[in-house]
Amino acid sequence: MKIAIPVDEKNLESTVCISFGRTPYFLIYDTEKEAHTFLDNSAAASQGGAGIKAAQAVVDQNVHALLTPRCGENASEVLSEAGVKIYKTNGTSIKENIESFNQNGLSMLTEIHAGLHQHK
Amino acid sequence: MKIAVLSGKGGTGKTLVSVNLASAFEEAIYIDCDVEEPNGHLFFKPDDVVEKEILVKTPVVDHDKCSGCRTCVEFCKFNALAFINQKVKVFDSICHSCGGCSLICPEHAIKEKDKAIGVIESGQSQNVKVITGRLNTGEETGVPIIKELLHLNREEVLNTVIDCPPGSSCMVMESIKDADYCVLIAEPTLFGRHNLNMVYDLVKLFDKPFGCVLNKCIQGENPSESFCVDENIPIIGRIPFDKNLGAINSNGTIITRVSMAYDALFKAILNRIEEEVSR
């Protein structure tokens, strides 16, 4: 199963990024093959609609699940329509979150925040 | 002459100053660009109000014609479009109505539909023509309404006072764009000084002539006043912290229409602005 996690740096020792839409990178992790790649998040520099663009990038990776501390309503709409399940990360360790996910230890993210449209 | 009145936060006295500056002119236009909560009309109580609906365009995708090429999704700089389950999805609230997606679609699969986002109301109150923009509740941005408010007024020769939204967002930038002079309203607190700094940065960026009106002035230290002194911002007026003014204003009465002293105070501010603009 492929999963995506917003991460601060391009290595597995790095931390989960507090932002989904404006994370610098996504970790794309295959839980069966235990293989991973990093994806630059081109949405990070967007003036607006970063969540939508980031969600599109994640959807295009054909991932089954997203592990994230937070998610906005527009991004969540894109992800859920595409069938990507959103789980809430626990702590900032990437490895521990993958481990928890593999053991069904993460809960679904239920708090979806409204957009932060400060540019308006 | 077009005068824009702005402040870094709500409640500093933008409407008090805007309404009374407009009223202090022999004849003037008052434009309420604070479209999320327009309140100048509560003071002017204009007659013969005419209403005009404001429409914006949003894209509608013909999914039968769409080839799924994603040209529109890649094109949209606002990220208002996504491609999910082989269909283009439109986020109306993010769309800035630029029309680009419908122009660029190679299959001509995107048309535009009208969406009402608010109204413009025009009426008359004695010597002042009162024009109010009003954004519908739940809409994301009032910029299209402000554009229309100022566009309708662009050929106008009468003196105009523009009551801006609070802060320094896109809506404020749109409101001050055509102004000949910007009046910054500031409260005598550290918080007021911080908010004054925000609009000060904005008017500098727009290279507009500007001055500051210190509102709610009390005895003692005024952090906003020291800021003006430090930054060489002209102080073009001082309004005292006056409970009588507060009471009259709270009743929706225009103070310059009932008080000679305040009429003189606002006329002095107008004179100062005219001097600054003609310099």
Distance from CA of A5 to the nearest CA of B (A): 20
The number of beta carbons lying within 10 Å of the beta carbon of residue B61 is 20
List CB contacts (< 8 A) between B169 and chain A: 118-120
List CB contacts (< 8 A) between A74 and chain B: 91, 93-94
Q: For position A114, what pLDDT does the model report? A: 78
Beta strands in chain A (DSSP E): 2-7, 25-30, 35-40, 65-68, 85-88
Identify residue B122 by its one-letter amino acid code: S
Asked if the structure places residue B113 within a domain, the reply is: no
CATH superfamily of domain region A2-102 = Dinitrogenase iron-molybdenum cofactor biosynthesis domain (3.30.420.130)
* Cβ separation A120–B80 shorter than 8 A: no
Q: For position A70, what pLDDT does the model report? A: 94
Among the candidates B46, B79, B108, a domain finishes at B108
The residue in chain B having the minimum alpha-carbon distance to the alpha carbon of residue A54 is B79
User: Is the confidence at residue B98, as pLDDT, over 70?
Assistant: yes
List CB contacts (< 8 A) between A43 and chain B: 79
Q: List, for residues B169-214, the tens digit of each pLDDT value.
A: 999 999 999 999 999 999 999 999 999 999 999 999 999 999 999 9
Distance from CA of B114 to the nearest CA of A (A): 21
Query: Is residue B182 domain-shared with residue B238, that is, in the same domain?
Result: yes
* Cβ separation B94–A81 shorter than 8 A: no
The mean per-residue pLDDT over the stretch B4-20 comes to 97
User: Is the CB of residue B55 less than 8 Å away from at least one CB of chain A?
Assistant: no
User: Is the CB of residue B84 less than 8 Å away from at least one CB of chain A?
Assistant: yes
Q: For position A116, what pLDDT does the model report? A: 57
Higher pLDDT: B257 or A115? It is B257
Query: Is residue B258 domain-shared with residue B231, that is, in the same domain?
Result: yes
Selecting from A46, A55, A117 the residue whose C-beta is nearest the C-beta of B82 gives A55
The number of domains in chain B is 2
Show the domain range for B90.
63-108
Interface test with B, best of A20, A116, A117 (most B CBs within 10 A): A117
* Cβ separation B140–A117 shorter than 8 A: yes
Task: Give the integer Cα–Cα distance in Å for B268 and B279.
Answer: 17
Residues B141, A23, A4, CA angle at the centre, nearest 5°? Answer: 115
CATH number of the domain enclosing B101? 3.30.70.20
List CB contacts (< 8 A) between B91 and chain A: 49, 52, 74, 77
Query: Is residue B212 domain-shared with residue B77, that is, in the same domain?
Result: no
Distance from CA of B251 to the nearest CA of A (A): 32
* Cβ separation A82–B85 shorter than 8 A: yes
Query: Is residue B182 domain-shared with residue B165, that is, in the same domain?
Result: yes
Q: For position A115, what pLDDT does the model report? A: 62
User: Is the CB of residue B143 less than 8 Å away from at least one CB of chain A?
Assistant: yes
* pLDDT bracket for residue A47 (50, 70, 90): confident
* Cβ separation A49–B141 shorter than 8 A: no
Q: For position B156, what pLDDT does the model report? A: 87
List CB contacts (< 8 A) between A59 and chain B: 82, 84
Q: What is the mean pLDDT of chain A?
A: 93
Q: For position B88, what pLDDT does the model report? A: 97
Residues A72, A74, A77, CA angle at the centre, nearest 5°? Answer: 105
CATH number of the domain enclosing B139? 3.40.50.300
Selecting from B80, B85, B141 the residue whose C-beta is nearest the C-beta of A81 gives B85
- Length of chain A in residues, anyone? 120
ipTM, 2 dp: 0.88
Q: For position B138, what pLDDT does the model report? A: 86
* Cβ separation A49–B79 shorter than 8 A: yes
Q: For position A117, what pLDDT does the model report? A: 47
Q: List, for residues B28-45, the tens digit of each pLDDT value.
A: 999 999 999 999 999 999
Asked if the structure places residue B126 within a domain, the reply is: yes
Query: Is residue B68 domain-shared with residue B153, that is, in the same domain?
Result: no
Selecting from A43, A52, A118 the residue whose C-beta is nearest the C-beta of B94 gives A52
